[in-house]
Amino acid sequence: TYDRRDGVSDETNHQEMLDAMITLGFQPVVIQSLMRLVAGVLFAGNMDFSPQHDDTCCLLEDHASLAVSSLLGVTFEELDAAITSRTITAGFEVLQKQLSQEQATKASEALIKAIY
C-alpha cells in the first residue's frame, strides 16, 4: 500500500466513487468499461518508443503497451499503427507515413486526451 501525506485514503475514495455510480444507476458493465478506460489512460502514460534508423519509431512491445492494447480492446499491432503512423489519402491513393518519435509521442498524448 501507499501512504499519502495528506492522509486521504485512495481505497476509500475509490469505493465511494463506485458506490456513487451504483446509486446513480450505472450498470456493472458500464462501470467496468469506465475502469478499463481509466486504467488504459494510466498505462498509456508509460508507453515508450524505440527509434529506428530512418528517423521513424515503433511502439515498444512492453508491459505498458500490451496492457493498453488489452484494456482498450485492440491488438498491439493496431495500437502501434494508430500511434506511430498516419494515413494520408490523396485522390484514390492511400499512403501510410511513419512518424518520428516526437510525432508519435504527440499522437500518444492526443489519444490519451481523447479518451480522457
What is the distance between the alpha carbons of residues 22 and 112, in angstroms, rounded to a whole number?
Answer: 26
- Indicate whether 91 belongs to any domain: yes
Q: What is the pLDDT of residues 23-55, one digit of tens each?
A: 999 999 999 999 999 999 999 999 999 999 899
* pLDDT at 67 > cutoff 90: yes
Where is average pLDDT lowest: 5-9, 78-82, 84-88?
Answer: 5-9
Q: Would you say 95 and 88 are in contact if contact means Cβ atoms under 8 Å apart?
A: yes
What is the distance between the alpha carbons of residues 115 and 44, in angstroms, rounded to a whole number?
Answer: 11
Pairing of strands 49-51, 85-90: unpaired
Say how many domains are in the chain.
1
- The CATH number assigned to the domain holding 50 equals 1.20.120.720
- Indicate whether 13 belongs to any domain: no
- Indicate whether 86 belongs to any domain: yes
- Indicate whether 8 belongs to any domain: no
Structural domain that includes position 111:
27-115
- Indicate whether 77 belongs to any domain: yes
Q: What confidence score (pLDDT) does residue 10 get?
A: 86
Q: What confidence score (pLDDT) does residue 7 get?
A: 82
Question: 0.85 exceeded by the pTM?
Answer: no
* pLDDT at 1 > cutoff 60: no
